[in-house]
Structure 1
Amino acid sequence: MSVQAEDHRRFARFRPPQAGEGGTMSLVDHFRELRYRLVVSILAIVVTSSVAFVFYRPLVQLVMWPYQLASEAIKAKNPTAQLQVVNTGVVAPFLLNLRIAMVAGLIAACPIWLYEIWAFIVPGLLDKEKKWAIRFVGASVPLFLLGAGLGYWVLPKGISMMLNFTPHGMGITNLLDMNAFLALELRIILLFGVCFLLPVFLVLLNLVHVVSSSQLAAARKWAIFGFFVIGAFANPSGDPISMCALAVPMALMYVIAEFICRANEKRHPVDEFGIDRDEFNIKVD
């Protein structure tokens, strides 16, 4: 056995299993593939989180910016408002910094774990369709970051509206637990980021012949209604501006994805059985 073959065999377990013809793979290999993608994603998040932990002070300021902006808006309307940030427990400061570093690492590593998600789907695609996976990853990263940034921008308005329900002149102090606030901020940021991946997901489903543009068109009004429902429940406040900040972009991206799917079907016609006529040279009257 050659040295090259021996090295290939030695490091085979550190590589994902290869799919067979047509992207087929056994159930065991699917689990091995999933394990590999999870390990790579977790290692990437661990590395980026370790780097972020070194810069925890500016990251804490970044995390607290929405609350500070909201508290300034509240005190501008009610100078007597009493707001206080608390972090209880001896190990709470360390755990808080660790959580903030993990959140920053999760966002910073999004190009890697997004790629691993799409790479897990790639074996089921045809060879000519695999080239689209890289384009999907290239579109997913900026869309995820755009959605996360929008959620970060909307958060202060929601906090301000919720805290404004505190009765004035009654000596009530609003105590903000840092860990609870970080959990809320993380949910909002990740929800907005994941929702902005909707058009990429829809186009991918169209590419593998799971959904068609006609199906998307038929479900459009219900999808848009659902976006506004999600926008109403996803935001910490119930104001129309915060709700529309998520619902309107999702509705626009849904329509854009529908047009992309329709254009893709015109280039590669698919019959009712999901067979690409161009690929198999099927003549349809």
Structure 2
Amino acid sequence: MKLTRQRPPADPEGRMPLMEHLRELRNRLLKATAGLVAGMILGFVIFDPVWEFLQAPYCELPAAHRGTGGETCNLYTNGLTEGFFLRIKIALMIGAVVSSPIWLYQLWAFIAPGLYRKERRWTYTFMAGAVPLFLLGAALSYITLDKGLSILLGFVPDNTVPLVTITSYLNYATAMMLVFGLAFELPLIVVILNLAGVLSSARIRRSQRMIIFGIFVFAAVATPSADPFTMMALALPTVLLFEVAAFLAFLNDRRRALRPGAHDELSDDEAAPLDLDEIDAALEQSAEGGGRGR
């Protein structure tokens, strides 16, 4: 008789030995890497139209800002290998975007067994909002890219030709898209923290001025160009999205307050929301009492 090795049944709580965790991680990484490599191969194939799309904001600048006398649109290389590494970087970017469903699923499949049901629900909510918001921010940065470039190149003195290299331009465009995309995630983080009971709408209102001031400071520091137009193009939509998130937090707290005994209906794997306002008031009272005692 031929004996077959049977796989042990899966633990309903997602627990497994350390070696099983390492094997699971290895398998997930191999699958995610295979998807990334396949996406990079596609990136090499469609390099030309993607590069033309990325280069379009620069080509829309006036000829005087581009240092050319005609309608030609030229970027420059500063070495023999710069063109090769440009293709590698763009292929990697395309591969990461195209294969994102694969490596995101592999990441989720690895961490999901250790999450409670409510934590999984919050993760679904976060991912459903994070991707569109990031794409919205990246699209806004692409639309305003030519304005920031025009302002920066407008400071070039007369009789001076700006030699913009392909590497510096790609780094600038990539940094702009990342900064705008990540900044647009702030309202989603506020909503998730409110749903988790960590951040109340009253606390948001008290800190509203400081948060808005912090958004403008972040926009001034994080944007690569640091020009006023780009700063306002990032700060104003982010403030608007933050106000929407604060309003959603207010509606959620109001709905939660109208449900008496809601904490008694929580299951064993759900945490009751923290009332930070009551904690702050208790700390202030204890501090005042200690001061009077002295």
TM range (shorter): 0.7 to 0.9
Structural mapping, 1:54-93, within 5 Å = 54-72=45-63, 74=65, 85-93=75-83
Equivalent positions of 1:93-108 (< 5 A) are 93-108=83-98
Q: Secondary structure at the match of 1:165?
A: coil
Cα distance change on mapping 1:19 and 1:212 into 2, 3 Å: farther
Determine the C-alpha separation between the residues in 1 that align with 2:194 and 2:12. Answer: 22
How many angstroms apart in 2 are the aligned matches of 1:36 and 1:220?
A: 45
Decide whether the 8 Å contact of 1:60 with 1:97 is kept in 2.
Answer: no
After superposition, the CA RMSD in angstroms is 4.1
Deviations for 1:231-263, whole angstroms, at most 9, x for unmatched residues? 222334444332221111111221222222233
Find the aligned partners of 1:245 and 1:149 in 2 and give their Cα distance: 12
Change (3 A) 1:20 1:107: same
User: Following superposition of structure 1 onto structure 2, how do residues 179-194 of structure 1 map, counting pairs within 5 Å?
Assistant: 179-194=167-182
Q: 1:112 to 1:242 in 2, by over 3 A?
A: farther
What are the equivalent positions in structure 2 for 1:188-267 lying under 5 Å apart?
A: 188-267=176-255
Write the distance in 1 (CA, Å) between the matches of 2:211 and 2:64.
35
What's the TM-score once normalised by structure 2's chain length?
A: 0.71
Greater CA drift, 202-211 or 185-194:
202-211
| From 138, 141, 160, the counterpart of 1:148 | 138
Does the 8 A contact of 1:268 with 1:277 survive in 2?
Answer: no
Quote how far apart the aligned CAs of 1:55 are. 0.6
Deviates more, 1:63-72 or 1:186-195: 63-72
TM-score (normalised: structure 1): 0.73
Counterpart check, 1:53 vs 2:44: yes
CA distance in 2, matches of 1:101, 1:41: 16
Secondary structure in structure 2 of the residue aligned to 1:86 = coil
Question: Displacement, 1:114?
Answer: 5.9
- 2:166 matched to which residue of 1? 178
Q: Do structure 1's residue 279 and structure 2's residue 266 form an aligned pair?
A: yes
Counterparts of 1:36 and 1:276, CA distance in 2:
40
- 1 CA distance for matches of 2:184 and 2:13? 33
Structure 1 portions without partners, runs of 5+: none
Question: Distance between the aligned counterparts of 1:34 and 1:164, measured in 2?
Answer: 51
Given the superposition, is the C-alpha separation of residues 207 and 111 from structure 1 closer, same or farther in structure 2, using an over 3 Å criterion?
Answer: farther
Structure 1 distance, partners of 2:202, 2:108, is 25
In the alignment, is the contact (CA less than 8 A) between 2:148 and 2:229 conserved in 1?
A: no
Q: Is the 8 A contact 2:32 2:106 kept in 1?
A: yes
Greater Rg by CA: 2
Residues 1:154 and 1:102: Cα distance change in structure 2 (over 3 Å): same
Instruction: Name the structure 2 match of 1:167.
Output: 157
TM-fit CA distance, 1:81: 12
Q: Identity rate of aligned residues, in percent?
A: 34
Query: Residue 87 of structure 1 aligns to a residue in which SS?
Result: coil
Q: Is the 8 A contact 2:175 2:224 kept in 1?
A: no
SS where residue 229 of structure 2 aligns?
helix
Deviation at 1:162, TM superposition (A): 0.8
